[in-house]
Amino acid sequence: MAIAIRLTRAQLDQMIAHALEDAPIEACGLIAARNGVVTEIRRARNAENSPYRFSIDPLETRRHEEAIDAAGAELAGFYHSHTGSPPIPSPTDIRMMGPFFGPPFVHFVIGVADRANPEVRAWYIQDGQPIEQEFEILPG
């Protein structure tokens, strides 16, 4: 399997920390990258304020995209947490995100149902199906 994206342990930990802070509400955010290497994890507000679903206000998404642009990076994907289920995109995730953000956008799902053992998995949502992707953790 090809590596979809590369990020540092610290960036991975930022997403996990966000997920743990917001639990049981789902946390969400955007991922900026340059040449497939993550440059920034950007927290967003879950407009649903729900333990079962998330959405990001389109105006907020645009604000993040402008900041990512200004930094010379590009939007590479999204993350959100699952606070009571495994880190696999739900049918709702696929319905909400799949039509707009297929590959190459990576969807990280941060599983924190077991707070002591967060589980991070990465996905493409393609043709209505979650397809798991490999990611590489870089030193730093």
Query: Footprint of Zn ion on this chain (CB under 5 A)?
Result: 90, 93
Q: Which is nearer to Zn ion, 22 or 93 (CB)?
A: 93
Q: Which is nearer to Zn ion, 71 or 88 (CB)?
A: 88
Read off the tokens for 123: 């996905």
Read off the tokens for 82: 């699952």
Q: State how far the Cα of 50 lies from the Cα of 73, in Å rounded to an integer.
A: 30
- Closest CB 86 distance from Zn ion, rounded Å: 10
Q: Which is nearer to Zn ion, 8 or 90 (CB)?
A: 90
- Closest CB 136 distance from Zn ion, rounded Å: 23
Residues 7, 17, 87, 99: is their CA dihedral positive or negative?
negative
- Closest CB 126 distance from Zn ion, rounded Å: 16
Q: State how far the Cα of 130 lies from the Cα of 139, in Å rounded to an integer.
A: 28
- Let me know if 74 is a catalytic residue: no
In the three-class reduction of DSSP (H, G, I as helix; E, B as strand; rest coil), residue 10 is classed as: helix
Q: Point out the residues that are catalytic.
A: 26
